Amino acid sequence: MKKITLLIALLFTGVLSFAQETEKEKAPGHYNISKFRQLKQELPTPNSYRTASGAPGHEYYQQKADYKMDIILDDDKQRIYGEEVITYYNNSPDDLEYLWVQLDQNIRAPDAKTNDVKAGGPASYYSPKKFTEEFLGKPFQGGFNIDYVKNTEDGDMTYTVNGTMMRIDLPAILKAGDKTSFKIKWWYNIPNHVIDGGRSGFEHFEKDGNNNYVIAQFFPRMAVYNDVEGWQNLQFLGRGEFALVFGDYEVNITTPEDHILDGTGVVTNRKEMLSSKQWKRYEQALTSYDEPVVIVTQEEAEENEKKVSKKTKTWKLKAENVRDFAFATSRKYILDGQAVKLGERTVMAISLYSKEGNPLWGEYSTRVVASTVKSYSAQMFDYPYHKAISVHAKRQGMEYPMICFNFGRPKPDGTYSERTRNGMIGVIIHEVGHNWFPMIVNSDERQWGWMDEGLNTFAQLLAEQDFEPGFPSRGYPKNVVDYMDGDQAKIAPIMTQHDNVFKSGPNAYSKPAAGLYILREVVLGHDLFDKAFMTYAQRWRFKHPTPADFFRTMEDASGTDLDWFWRGWFYTTDYNDIGVKDIKKYIVTEEPTEKAKKLAKRYGMTVDQLGKNLYLVEADANSTDAAASGGSVQDIATLNEYLSDNFSKEERNSLKDTKYFYEIIFEKPGGLVMPILAEITYADGSKENKYYPAEIWRFNDKEIKKIIGSEKEISSIVIDPNQLTADVNLENNSWPRKESESKFDSFKKEKITD
């Protein structure tokens, strides 16, 4: 009881302060505006499909779509011809009267609606071809050309094309639990992705007349039907990527005979497609765990470039439980591979690149793929597929199951800058990492770009540091400060449909990644965060999570209420700005303060009834009274006398030798609530880090006060010295302020001694 007496006295001061504030002029009533209120209105109501814990519910379902395709690549016309049979499984509890199919290539059709929704002035520059297409009436003749949609008995089916979506009317209701099959035949002109941009296409090399093909979105694909959106049939406008259904694929791809190809799934006839020497090298690569083995050499690729074969061959690929399919092919490709050990399994890291990528790609690509597979597997779950492929493609950075297309090209003489090297390494880690988000943890990219890009950019940061400590990663909080402190008219909350954000890079990539970094480094710590993040990934692998599933799982698995963080960081455009407003020094006295007297009067007590207590009184820098100018021997004698009267010798020996008392006033001009990271430097040069959780702002969103007792005199305080919280204004982060001498400075020469 004796030890509690001093605490009670100190509490009187705080209670009185609160009481005085409540006596101010009354404001009108209002709804709950606390930044710590629960996300009840923002998040959907839990149900049997998606639980309040963030896990799939006992009635969770997802549809399935299997594809059997025959594809012909026409290298002369740069054209794709395809026929497919889609088998669609209705695993939902709903009966369906029509199906929606995605026609993403229609974004390139001459009459595409997407061309009309884009606004803006002249581009920085135009290639002659692009200028002609844009302004002289000769647009690229892109988009799907549908030859037919038929049932499996060759009967025509009714369909309607709406931009990048096609509705197929079913002849009979597709009952819950049933399946249906239908056929589509199509063709389209492949765009030159170097000139026209986009996520796939070909690159032409004038010097040797050949093309490198990176092919994706090349077939009509089923749209997603689920418990959240019904049919996800938002138009493809170019930014919001893809919502896709898991399924099995059997794909036959016919190319020129001299091409080298790889793609999603197992190449079931790879031995037939390679020469005997190349096949032996491939078998060697299957057990080469230390370094890549070159399977198709640069010399062989250069020989292929010289002779254009008119013959063809058909590559056969088979994939199970993937959400998409892509491939790359060229007669120019070099192929190398390296084995990666994951537990009892071996995964192949593979690279495809033409000589234009060397020596950079031969030195780094496959090694980076191997490192990424190991790092992401440790973060989330072991990579479940048998291979991961990195393909060299100019001005590309795009991902698909088991394969990705990546930029990074040295100069013609083979030299490259550090920036080119780091850019290539970064994009390979990022795109290979997309195998986890969203290829396996299959979020709706059309709606929520951050759920794959942001989560992946965060995981990428950790993988980059695994590959090379000190690598210049982009997901750190300090890297989003300029964006968050920018023009509010040009900033959207992260929780905005991806086509409608102003700046996709910081909004969907950097800011979500920085937020997760803050959660890991500042709010939760590594152990809690890593377990929660892994729980989310494992709960939703090969399923379709929503933002609510992520938010709820992170809270459920960490045992931490994070609603304040999700609201501020994801649902608003608020920024963080926390500073040190003032520091006041206090002395100890037995005399009741004016605050204590008022408090006693408020509760009907006399001053005598307060009893024998200690009080903290603000030291007055301008006073001539020694006791009020920083403490004196008498003040400490009073404290020591009080302690002697109320504590035993053993108890006194266990107490801290506190000589200094400070009130630190923290201010928060920014809208975000955030923990306070305070680095305190003492007069003897020693430092101490103080951590105050975000909840410290619950009852005052503008400023809060903390009383600190210390053995040593404080010389300075810095907020967030390592820039871990994306604080947009560092000028108010330190005390004393550099620009002017503060009241605190006057105490530096005054020391309280025993």
Q: In terms of Cα–Cα distance, which of 454, 543, 433, 514 is closest to 723? A: 514
Q: In terms of Cα–Cα distance, which of 396, 399, 545 is closest to 460? A: 399
DSSP letter (8 states) at residue 669: -
Using DSSP, state whether 444 is helix, strand or coil: coil
For the stretch 660-701, pLDDT in tens is: 889 999 999 999 999 999 999 999 999 999 999 999 999 999
Vertex 95: Cα angle to 89 and 100 (nearest 5): 60
For the stretch 298-327, pLDDT in tens is: 999 999 999 899 999 999 999 999 999 999
Distances, alpha carbon 483 to alpha carbons 384, 568, 573, in Å:
37, 15, 10
Mean pLDDT computed over 441-464: 98
Helices 526-539, 360-379: inter-axial angle, 10-degree rounding: 90
Residue 37 tokens read as 């209120």
- How far apart are alpha carbons 381 and 98 in whole angstroms? 37
- How far apart are alpha carbons 655 and 517 in whole angstroms? 38
| Res 20 pLDDT > 60 | no
Number of H helices, E strands in the chain: 19, 31
For the stretch 362-375, pLDDT in tens is: 999 999 999 999 99
Strand partners of residue 181: 87
For the stretch 371-403, pLDDT in tens is: 999 999 999 999 999 999 999 999 999 999 999
pLDDT for 361 equals 98
- Alpha helices by DSSP H, listed for 417-503, are 418-433, 450-467, 481-484
Mean of the per-residue pLDDT values of the chain: 90
For the stretch 693-729, pLDDT in tens is: 999 999 999 999 999 988 889 999 999 999 999 999 9
Task: Delineate the domains of the chain, giving CATH numbers in brackets.
Answer: 2-24+577-747 (no CATH), 64-442 (2.60.40.1730), 443-573 (1.10.390.10)
Confidence of residue 601 (pLDDT cuts 50, 70, 90): confident
- CA neighbours closer than 13 Å in the CB half-sphere of residue 665: 10
Task: Give the predicted TM-score (pTM) of the model.
Answer: 0.91
For the stretch 156-209, pLDDT in tens is: 999 999 999 999 999 999 999 999 999 999 999 999 999 989 999 999 999 999
Pairing of strands 230-231, 676-682: unpaired
Q: What percent of the chain has pLDDT over 70?
A: 90
Helices 418-433, 450-467: inter-axial angle, 10-degree rounding: 130
In this structure, are residues 141 and 187 in contact, taking their beta carbons and an 8 Å threshold? Answer: no
pLDDT for 555 equals 98
Confidence of residue 128 (pLDDT cuts 50, 70, 90): confident
Strand partners of residue 580: 666
Residue 234 tokens read as 């938002």
CB atoms closer than 10 angstroms to residue 18:
12
